[in-house]
Copies of this chain bind each other. A is one copy, B any other.
Amino acid sequence: MLKGGYMGKILRVNLTEQTYKEEETAVELAKQYIGGAGFGVKYLFDEVPADTDPLGPANKLIFAPGPFSGTAVPCASRIAAVAKSPLTGAVGMALSGGHFPVELKFAGYDALIIEGKAEKPTYVSIKDGKVSFRSAEHLWGTRTSDCQQLIKDQLRDQNTRIVCIGPAGERLVKVACIINERRALGRKGLGAVMGSKNLKAVAVRGSQEVPVYDKEAFKKARSVMTGAMKESHALYPMFSHIGTPAVLDLTCEMGIFSTKNWAGTGQWAPVDKLGVEANNSRKIGREHCYNCPVGCSQIKLAREGSYAGILTEGPEFESIYSLGGTTGIDNLDAVIAADRLCDELGMDTMSAGVAIGFAMELYEKGILTKSDTGGLELHFGNDKAMQELLLDMAYRRGLGDILADGVKLAAEKIGKGSEKYAMHIKGLELPAYDIRGAKAHGLNYATSYTGADHNRGYAFQEIFGIPVPEAVDRFAYAGKGKLTKWNQDVRCVTCDCATMCAFILDMALPGIATQNTADLMQALTGLPFTPEEVQAVGERVNNLARVFNKLAGFSRADDTFPERIMTEPLKEGNSKGQLISKEDLNTMLDEYYAARGWTTEGVPTPEKLRSLGLEDALKKLEP
């Protein structure tokens, strides 16, 4: 019986049968996986065979907030969504903040497992333990902001919190996302999983409290955290005021802001037009997740020309990269408009932008011509063409239909040597940081269980120069295997499982994260936790996901980079001349696998799995 932090129940909804049931949240699950992505990966592993069609009814979609969500712990109102990814075929996991995560707890649940496929478009309404299945036939085709408003009106409750998909998810666009207010569970195509289940939305409202086991100890552990936050000048006032666009200025200075489909770094420096100052000139407000004092999310309003008056929450740094940098578009208003359009269509800004940058390079190289683009002049920098193409992707029209499946599949369809311009790892489009100038960041992209994912093991040591656990040289290779394991495990448990905001981890807690998480968990839940046990949760999830991916067909050969990273050195700026050769990658991989206790082929060993209590995984791996 769980005593605090958890609501004690997991809700299982079956769309095929239109039934639901509540299951107890097991103490062992809480202890071994904490919550969030931990719960999600565990349920996925146990219940979805690795060879499952991601867009078939046998795939499951698990939403799980963390134990801190809805408590007095700040910056922890986050939720993980997990399914087998239709974009990568690997474990798909995405996180979002906002208010939906705590609302699910307040409604009584530690996780929501969605199974099967509804016969017709449906949405699910959850209200304090009452679940209803409602027709979404009228909502099918709506954009995400309208959809949410229509549901609130229909439920006669303007305070309902909703996750939903847009036209992209309905059409099984593989870069479709799930939208929560104006935020996204963005990557790995989880919107298409909802679409494949005919699930337009989940609406949640609750009024319960999250129990706290030891209030005094909890308050004390929390004050250690908030004290560290207050001392972080990076958080206050800086990050509160400039948000993630700050990273654009920083990475431009470092020469690792990727532009023009990764061909242009250093040659086209957009910091003046897309950086902090430009973003602040468009900023009209901030948005806070539940119980977050930072409020880094910026609301911006486009000001000029045909984009004037278009508002978005964002664009965050990564969206500025994907819709601006990699497309060579330095019109911030166009990026703002594209960001809003992606949110409305329910499409991942990152993968969508990279796909357009990819198409632009193909067009410039003559691999795509006007007859392929439906007349669009797809030069880098053509913002109007981007708007058109985003719509075409969401509605699967013409070239957009091809790009809708991500650059890996698009390159396979287009052929003609286009593969070498497809910037992805394991099918997931690359984030902003040009890893040629940040080697641990690169190794993390190569080895993350979700594909090229900066968030699974963000090398803040290289980007922000934070010397935890030790100072590193971002151009060096030695030690990056060990560092990447540390980054991935710590980040996994604190941000993905305990669902604390990554910005807090990087800027306030890097040195105390596992200790503080252990103290908070122990006080909140009454379960014993040491820092080592906490870190082991991260390692456990990473290993379990690795086994799932191995069973799904992934191998060492997939822990790699697009050719350009390994053969084209950066041309200018403060990372000039850098690349990561195949040999250097292999050296890093060998060190990483060794640090992980995996075979040289990157497979978790029986010893490692047993030490993490993953005997079930071992059985599946060696039946």
| A binding-site residues for B, Cβ under 8 Å | 138-139, 141-143, 145-146, 150, 152-154, 158-159, 166-167, 284-285, 287, 299, 301, 303, 306, 308-311, 344-345, 388, 391, 394-395
Question: Contacting A309 at CB < 8 Å: which of B141, B152, B154, B306?
Answer: B141
CB distance from A333 to the nearest CB of B (A): 12
Name the residue on B nearest A310 (C-beta): B143
**Does the CB pair A150–B299 fall under 8 Å?**
yes
Closest residue on chain B to residue A345 by CB atoms: B309
How far does the alpha carbon of A321 sit from the alpha carbon of B388 in the complex, in Å?
29
Interface contact A284-B138, CB-CB below 8 Å: yes
Which of these, B142, B284, B306, B388, contacts A139 with CB under 8 Å? B284
On whether the beta carbons of A308 and B167 are closer than 8 Å, the reply is yes
Q: List 22 A-B contacts (CB under 8 A).
A: A138-B285, A139-B284, A141-B284, A141-B301, A141-B308, A141-B309, A142-B301, A143-B309, A143-B310, A143-B311, A145-B145, A150-B284, A150-B285, A154-B285, A158-B158, A158-B159, A166-B309, A167-B309, A306-B388, A306-B391, A309-B394, A309-B395
Q: Find out whether the CB atom of B142 lies under 8 angstroms from the CB atom of A309.
A: yes
Measured in the bound complex, the distance between the Cα atoms of B308 and A519 in whole Å is: 52
Pick from B138, B150, B159, B395: contact of A308, CB under 8 Å? B395
Complex Cα spacing A167 to B308, Å = 9
Q: Judging by beta carbons under 8 Å apart, are A284 and B142 in contact?
A: yes
Nearest 10 CB-CB pairs, A to B? A158-B158, A138-B284, A146-B311, A167-B309, A143-B309, A141-B301, A158-B159, A138-B285, A142-B311, A141-B309
Interface of A is mostly: mixed
Q: Nearest-CB distance from A283 to chain B (Å)?
A: 9
Q: How many copies, total?
A: 2
CA distance A306 to B167 in the complex (A): 13
Say how far A328's CB is from chain B's closest CB, in angstroms: 24
> Which residues of chain B have C-beta atoms less than 8 A from A167's C-beta?
308-309
Nearest Cβ on chain B to A13's Cβ, whole angstroms? 24
- Chain B min CB distance to A192 (Å): 17
Closest to A283 in B: B138
Beyond known contacts A141-B301, A143-B311, A167-B308: 10 more, CB 8 A cutoff: A143-B310, A150-B285, A152-B158, A153-B287, A154-B285, A158-B159, A166-B309, A167-B309, A308-B395, A309-B394
Q: How far is the CA of A543 from the CA of B391 in the complex (A)?
A: 54
Residue in B closest to A158 when the chains form the complex, CB atoms: B158
Q: Which of A138, A284, A388 has the most CB of B within 10 A?
A: A284
Chain B residue at minimum C-beta to C-beta distance from A303: B141
- A153 — which chain B residues lie within 8 A by C-beta? 287
Please give me the residue from chain B that is nearest to A395 by CB atom: B308
User: Which partner residue on chain B sits nearest A157 by CB separation?
Assistant: B158
- Complex CA distance for A283 and B320, rounded to whole angstroms: 36
Q: Which residues of B contact A139 (CB under 8 A)?
A: 284
User: CB-CB < 8 A to A394: which residues of B?
Assistant: 309
By a CB distance below 8 angstroms, the chain B residues around A309 are 141-143, 166-167, 344-345, 394-395
Distance to closest chain B CB from A398 (angstroms): 12
A301 surroundings in chain B (CB, below 8 A)? 141-142
Least CB distance, A46 to chain B, in whole angstroms:
37
**Distance between Cα atoms of A154 and B344 in the complex (Å):** 22
Question: Which chain B positions have C-beta within 8 A of A299?
Answer: 150
Q: What B residues does A311 contact at CB under 8 A?
A: 142-143, 146
* Chain B residue, CB-CB nearest to A143: B309
Q: How far is the CA of A142 from the CA of B340 in the complex (A)?
A: 13
Bound complex: CA of A615 vs CA of B153, how far in Å? 49
Distance in Å from the Cβ of A560 to the closest Cβ of chain B? 38
Give the residues in chain B near A145, CB-CB below 8 Å. Answer: 145
Of the listed residues A167, A285, A303, A309, the one surrounded by the most CB atoms of chain B closer than 10 A to its CB is A309
CA distance A391 to B167 in the complex (A): 25
Most B Cβ at <10 Å: residue of A141, A158, A166, A303: A141
How far is B393's CA from A309's CA once the two chains are assembled, in angstroms?
13
User: Cα distance A284–B388 when bound, in Å?
Assistant: 26
Q: Please indicate the chain B residues that have their CB under 8 angstroms from the CB of A150 in the complex.
A: 284-285, 299
Find chain B residues with CB under 8 A from A158 CB.
152, 158-159
A298 CB to nearest chain B CB (Å): 12
A261, B247: Cα distance in complex, Å: 54
A369 to chain B, nearest CB (A): 22
Tell me how far the C-beta of A374 lies from the nearest C-beta in chain B, rounded to whole angstroms. Answer: 12
Residue in B closest to A168 when the chains form the complex, CB atoms: B309
Inter-chain contacts of A345 with B (CB < 8 A): 309
CA distance A206 to B167 in the complex (A): 37
**B residues within 8 A CB of A391?**
306
